[in-house]
Amino acid sequence: MIACTAQNEMAVTGQSMIRAALIIHCLFACMLLSANVSALIVSVGTDFESITLGPGLHYLVEPENVINVSEIMDHTGWKEVSTPQASFGFRDKAYWLRFAVENPQNKPEDLLIELSNNYLDSINLYVLDEEKQVIAHQQSGDSIPYRLRPIAHAQNLHPVTLPAKARITIVIRVQSSSALSIPVQIWDRQAFTTYDFTRTVGLGIFFGLMIIFSLYHLVVAALTRDSSALYYAIFIFSFLMIFSYRKGIPPSILPEAAIPSMETANVFGISLVGFSLCLFTSRILLLKDAAPALARLMLIAGSLALLPLFASRYIDYSLLIRISLGYSLIIIVLFATVIIKRIRDRYPPARHMVIASIFGIIGGGSGILAALDILPVTLTVQTLIYVCNAVMALFLALTISYRINMDRQLIEEAQRKHTHELDELVRRRTEELESVNAQLHVVSITDGLTQLYNRRYFDETFRTEYNRAFREKQPLSVLLMDIDHFKKLNDTHGHAFGDLCLKTAAEVVQSQLRRPLDVAARYGGEEFVVLLPDTDTQGACHIAENIRRELKATVVHHNGKPVNMTISAGVSGEIPVARDQHEALLKRADDCLYEAKRNGRDRVETES
């Protein structure tokens, strides 16, 4: 009896447990169904501008069998995003997202759905009405040509018009070989236009600064042959390539056939960044002399950074980019280690690189961590990346300038220390050379016998003074003189006596000139010429007559016998009325000289 009672009680208890389990399963199923039905709802009211979707956004890993959107909506595997944005790391499968948008206003609302990750290969956006029927389908992403996107824009934009007092459901399918980070933002179209203008201006300033840094240091490298400036330019160029593709700029401004693919550019940029950073650091910190082992390590690390360029044909991009990003973190750690080492060595440029290193590690590390899905790709993170990289580029440029200035100072100090005697010797030799040059110049313009100016100097001075007289409308006169019967004197008393007569005549001519601008020269043989600036014909005749009388009164002795000389002179003068007519003036003086000879010599003739 007791046994039967016990068995009945156990049966009742078992049935109660079964009923409880059924109730729990039903409740759990109801929760799942409720979760499947009630997706995240965004209300766009009167003051709506934008919203970034994160917690509450539904996502689903695409099932093995390919199904349509209606079946996707009814699938039981939907889950909620709990992070600030939908981010799933590197995944081979596609992911689905869904959310609802309602418009409580009495007017339609023009919206834009932005997915601001340009590394997403394929984006399919479906718009469903309240009956869960597909009313629109749009495609974008890296694999979709720019011209085929819903809106011709650098970002992945999808226009949606939401009728008044209506609700729609947005379902998005995303697939990518890169990290599957899916920042979803809903914009009022007018608000996006304002925001996009500000963002474009900011990016323009950022890229403009970076391009200036790169081109300037290319010029510096060409002029100074400083390899650190060249590696810096490559480093900045590589950063620009990565960032420009991240922002979707090349596909939006260049022909599709003229640009490499996103995958190729990304691997190329990351590889060059690692390579140039290693070699730049080694060169700017002079590791070859200060730490040869570290210099070799940096060279090896930089060379290994280029391997993805050659392996891209043989390794899947998804795996290759993960390897490249992971290796970039190693390079950053190595970079920091080298900086610390050189700071301990008290090397001045290392101290100046500390600020650049801090911003570079923050900016570069944040970018890599975001790409590896460790950090969320929020607007704050992106702004941090760009600002830090710009500041890093600026301080690296300042480091190069400091290092170049320091090298120049060291060279100058060494030159001052070791070349003082050489400078003194050069100074003495220079003074001697200047003295010799001065003497040579005097010799080149002086007649060796009479010590008057020679004809070449007279010709040059005559042309210059004539043109000056023309400009200033001042008179200019010329005396052309010839020793009378000089050939007879030379033949009678010998050439030595003739030379003495020429020197005596030259001394007499020079003695009658009082002004610095007056020029006396030996014109040739026994002829002399005198140039008289700012002197009219009357004044020139007076000077010529003084020379004639003085020479006639001068006695030259030969073998104890006195010998007298006379001269004939022709005078011509004018205020020039045209340039470069000096030859005509000299010709008239020569005609007057011949007139003096025809009229008996020992006289001065001038123009009538």
| pLDDT value of position 467 | 93
| Structure confidence at residue 377 (pLDDT) | 58
Catalytic residue among 62, 114, 465, 526: 526
Instruction: Single out the residue of 364, 361, 304, 365 nearest to residue 338, CA to CA.
Output: 361
- Of the candidates 69, 34, 169, 39, the one whose C-alpha atom is nearest the C-alpha of residue 113 is 169
Chain segment 94-147, per-residue pLDDT in tens: 999 999 999 999 999 999 999 888 888 899 999 999 888 999 999 998 888 877
Distance CA 376, CA 237 (A): 26
| Burial status of residue 446 (CB atoms within 10 A of its CB: 0-12, 13-18, 19 or more) | middle
How does the average pLDDT of the chain come out, rounded?
83
Percent of the chain clearing pLDDT 90 (strictly above): 32
**How far is CA 144 from its chain centroid?**
34
Task: Please answer whether residues 544 and 571 qualify as being in contact, where contact means their C-beta atoms are separated by less than 8 angstroms.
Answer: yes
For the segment 551-560, what is each residue's pLDDT rounded down to a tens digit?
Answer: 999 988 877 7
Residues above pLDDT 70, as percent of the chain? 90
Weakest-pLDDT range from 272-286, 355-369, 392-406, 541-555: 355-369
Closest CA to 105 of 145, 46, 64, 63: 46
For the segment 455-491, what is each residue's pLDDT rounded down to a tens digit?
Answer: 999 999 999 999 999 999 999 999 999 999 888 888 8
- Per-residue model confidence (pLDDT) at position 376: 63
Task: Find the mean pLDDT for residues 519-531.
Answer: 92
pLDDT digits (tens, 9 = 90+) for 30-58: 333 333 445 688 998 888 988 888 888 99
pLDDT in tens, 532-546: 999 999 999 999 999
- pLDDT tens-digit map of 231-261: 999 988 888 888 888 777 877 777 766 677 7
Q: Which residues contact 233 (CB under 8 A, 6 or more apart)?
A: 213, 214, 215, 217, 218, 221
Q: How confident is the model at residue 453 (pLDDT cuts 50, 70, 90)?
A: very high
- List of residues 6+ apart from 171 with CB closer than 8 A: 69, 72, 73, 96, 97, 98, 125, 126, 128
Of 514, 519, 489, nearest to 504 by C-alpha is 489
Local structure of residue 104 (DSSP, 8 states): -
Question: Which pLDDT belongs to residue 38?
Answer: 53
CA 589 to the chain's CA centroid: 66
Rounded-to-integer distance, Cα 41 and Cα 44, Å: 10
The residue type found at 471 is: R
Instruction: Respond yes or no: is residue 465 known to be catalytic.
Output: no
The single-letter code of the amino acid at 549 is R
Question: What is the rounded average pLDDT of the residues 294-323?
Answer: 84
Q: Compute the average pLDDT of residues 151-158.
A: 88
Phi and psi torsions of 123, nearest 5°: -130, 125
How far apart are alpha carbons 415 and 436 in whole angstroms? Answer: 29
Predicted confidence at residue 10, as pLDDT, reads: 36
What pLDDT score was predicted for residue 35?
A: 39
pLDDT score of 17 more than 50:
no
pTM above 0.75, yes or no: no
